[in-house]
Structure 1
Amino acid sequence: MQQNGLGEGCIGGRAHACRAIAALSRSSEGRLIPQERRAITEPGVSAAVEPDEARDAMPTSDCAAGDTGELCAPMKDMELGMQRSFFNASREFPEVISLNVGGKYFTTRLSTLRRFEDGVLAAMFSGRHHLLLDAEGRYFIDRDGTYFGDILNFLRSGELPQRERVLAVYIEAQYYGIGPLLENLEATQPLTGEKVRQAFLGLLPYYKENLKRIMEIAKLRAVHRKARFAKLKICVYKEEMPITPYERPPFSTLPLERPESEAKLFKHQCEVDVSFGPWEGVADVYDLLHCIVGDLAERGVAAEQQCIGVCDKHLISHYYCKRPIYEFKITWW
């Protein structure tokens, strides 16, 4: 396993040791020469070399002269010694582990925590990392322990959480890096439905930006009026251009197309605060309204909506806009 860009062999607690050895191996000509003891010479002046300095300047029998990129024998012994010290210092865990996860206590087997080798829990209890202990000697994990029991149940027997806990457990499974649990949760509701919903919202231009704009406008109006709610006008339309019943294409066929010169006559901005649309898909206006209200609720904003009419702007000939206009009531407390 390779961590933090370090080379192979520099894992966990060995990182500092590897850096130190690598720095030593880059010393001039593969030998250790203290900076303060190097003789300073000038052109034409011979410098006297003390016996100790001469010994330092000569290659040892264990280190060949020249920078070959190889570690000399003493340095290799030093690296091996550091490796042995590291592995000897690895913690030996008991078979039964007591955990304190954000103030909630759990007891499980060591083999359960190590079930998936590429997970965070397996890495934590591999002996390569320093773990904190609480006052009672339990291993401490600085994470909300509300859903940690669901994580343990999956590690023990493959049990999945109840539907109302799936989203929260999914977030925890991402933190602990438990791939099999993530795959199982993604194949269940409500995560499967959320994937379908996001695929639909991907058809709408500026959806997230419009949600942000709704919240900003509602906040400014509520503060200005010093009221607990604010009202906005929002246009939600599916078709690119208004069409008459006689021009409406059959279901599941290509949308109505007009020449570019004529299409420009239909383009306008409805007198509303925010507009959603157009999009091409089976989902209709009411599906989008449901998404808007739900996503605002996820952001802590209570929203109610009702249709108050249509845009009556006259375009050309007998064409009017007729896009539906909805009034959104945003309540802040």
Structure 2
Amino acid sequence: MSDSETSDSSVEEIEIKPVRPVPRSRPKQNSKDKARSPARSLSPTSVLNGEGTVAKKVLDNYTVTSSINTKIEPFPNVIPLNVGGVKYMTRLSTLKKFPDSMLAALFSGRYTVDKDADGNYFLDSNGILFGYLLEFLRNGFVPPREHAVPLYREASYYGLHELAEKLNLMPAVVSLIVKESHKSQFPNYEEIKEEVIRVAMENATFTKMGEVFMYVFKSEFIPKTNTFNPNHGCIIESAQVKCGPWDGPVDEEVFVKCLESDLIDDGFDVKPHEPKKKCRYYHGQSCQKFVYRLQIMF
């Protein structure tokens, strides 16, 4: 290698040793040492993560350095990284390219970053995906669209809203944001979906067809006559899953279609749901309650 090549400061060598990425746990709030992060949140991020500024919550999990109680070790100009088991070498200026990102805050000297046994700064994240984030920081390279969804989450996690804003225009991310926003209209949606799957599994033990009756209601039914018997043996007594009430313009049919589509996207074999079955009770006033039947094939 020539002297001109070795002295070229624009070249950054990367040593990549792929291993199984270490799962990242949700950071815990630390009320004693809450970090003040300048990172901005994106509106789609709150939909995908169910919380506010992701980068700020991540920084809450790091120890804040103190010039009084802690000896601050300055970061070198070239940073050796271990990201979930994958090794990288990059410049400190690269990690701090966007001042309002979590990475810039993390390597600002205000936080203590753990090191591995070899002295590499350790980030508990998906090491393979981090390589794409690093390329964006270096030269603005936008990752391939097939990685758009997981990288959108990683960009949001690290507070790289510049990259997240580019990714959230890609079809897969747009579709995910719309889907998650749609599901967020319904209370306890994920819990209800899990309950539907569990009930279907139990009912499919002998027939391989999981039949689930759901009582879905946007608003509570309130009788208007004194002759209405609330213990009339309503059809909803056959329901194994309940969802409602909720605010917003969408009705019960939209919820069932949303759930049905979501299960199909997850790979379940779902038969088109049947029209709602209404209660037949009438005594001065008809009962307005009804159930849906959903069938999952196993």
* TM-score, reference length from structure 1: 0.51
Aligned partner letter, 1:306: P
Amino acid at match of 2:33: N
1:71-110 superposed matches below 5 A: 86=71, 89-94=73-78, 97-110=79-92
Question: Relative to structure 1, is the Cα distance of residues 160 and 326 closer, same or farther in structure 2, using a 3 angstrom cutoff?
Answer: farther
Q: Give the C-alpha shift of residue 174 in structure 1.
A: 3.4
Shift of 1:186: 4.4
Are 1:273 and 2:267 matched, yes or no? no
CA deviations over 1:171-197 (Å, ceiling 9, x no partner): 322332323334444455444444444
Please, what is the CA RMSD of the aligned residues? 4.7
Q: Which has the higher contact order (CA 8 A, sep 6+)?
A: 2
Contact 1:310 1:322 in 2 (8 A): no
Question: CA 1:154 to 1:275, structure 2 compared with 1: closer, same or farther past 3 Å?
Answer: same
Query: Matched residue of 2:69: which SS?
Result: helix
Alpha-carbon separation, structure 1, partners of 2:216 and 2:280: 17
8 Å contact from structure 2 (residues 212, 239) kept in 1? yes
Q: How far does residue 134 in structure 1 lie from its aligned partner after superposition? A: 5.4
Aligned ranges for residues 232-251 of structure 1 at < 5 Å? 232-235=211-214
> Tell me, which stretches of 5 or more residues in structure 2 are unaligned?
1-31, 37-62
* In structure 1, C-alpha distance between the alignment counterparts of 2:207 and 2:223, rounded to whole Å: 48
Q: Which residue of 2 aligns with 1:112?
A: 94
Where does residue 14 of structure 1 map in the other structure?
A: 67
Which among 263, 268, 272 is matched to residue 306 of structure 1?
Answer: 272
**How big is the shift at 1:328?**
2.0
The amino acid across from 2:293 in the alignment is Y
Shift in CA distance, 208/126, structure 1 to aligned 2, threshold 3 Å: closer
User: Equivalent pairs: percent with the same residue?
Assistant: 26
**CA 1:130 to 1:206, structure 2 compared with 1: closer, same or farther past 3 Å?**
closer
Give the paired residue count.
234
Relative to structure 1, the CA distance from residue 92 to residue 164 in structure 2 (aligned partners, 3 Å threshold; closer, same or farther) is closer
Structure 1 position 145, deviation (Å): 0.9
The answer to whether the 8 Å contact 2:235/2:289 transfers is: no
Q: How far apart are residue 150 of structure 1 and its match?
A: 2.1
**2:149 paired residue number:** 167
Whole-Å Cα distance in 1 between the matches of residues 35 and 121 of structure 2? 28
Is the 1:124–1:131 Cα contact (8 Å) retained in structure 2?
Answer: no
Alpha-carbon distance in structure 2 between the residues aligned to 1:228 and 1:118 = 56
Distance change >3 Å, CA 173–CA 134, structure 1 → 2: farther
Q: Kindly name which structure, 1 or 2, has the bigger radius of gyration based on alpha carbons.
A: 1
- Residues 142 and 165 (structure 1), Cα distance of their counterparts in 2 relative to 1, 3 Å cut: same
1:1-333 to 2 correspondence within 5 Å? 4=33, 12-14=65-67, 16=69, 86=71, 89-94=73-78, 97-127=79-109, 129-133=112-116, 135=118, 138-186=120-168, 188-205=170-187, 207-221=189-203, 225=205, 229=208, 231-235=210-214, 260-261=224-225, 268-270=234-236, 271-275=238-242, 281=249, 285=253, 288-293=255-260, 295-296=262-263, 302-308=268-274, 310-311=276-277, 313-316=279-282, 325-329=292-296, 331=298
Q: Is the 8 A contact 2:192 2:241 kept in 1?
A: yes
Larger helix fraction of residues: 1
Residues 110-130 of structure 1: CA deviation (Å, up to 9, x unaligned):
321111234333244445635
Distance in 1 (CA, whole Å) between partners of 2:258 and 2:181 is 12
Aligned to 1:247: none
| The 10-residue stretch of structure 1 (319-328 or 114-123) with the greater mean CA deviation from structure 2 | 319-328
Cα gap change, 1:114/1:273 in structure 2, threshold over 3 Å: closer, same or farther?
same
Deviations along 1:27-56, whole A, 9 cap, x unmatched? xxxxxxxxxxxxxxxxxxxxxxxxxxxxxx
- In structure 1, runs of 5+ residues without a counterpart are 18-85, 242-257
Q: Please report how far the alpha carbon of residue 102 of structure 1 lies from its aligned counterpart in structure 2 after TM superposition.
A: 2.0
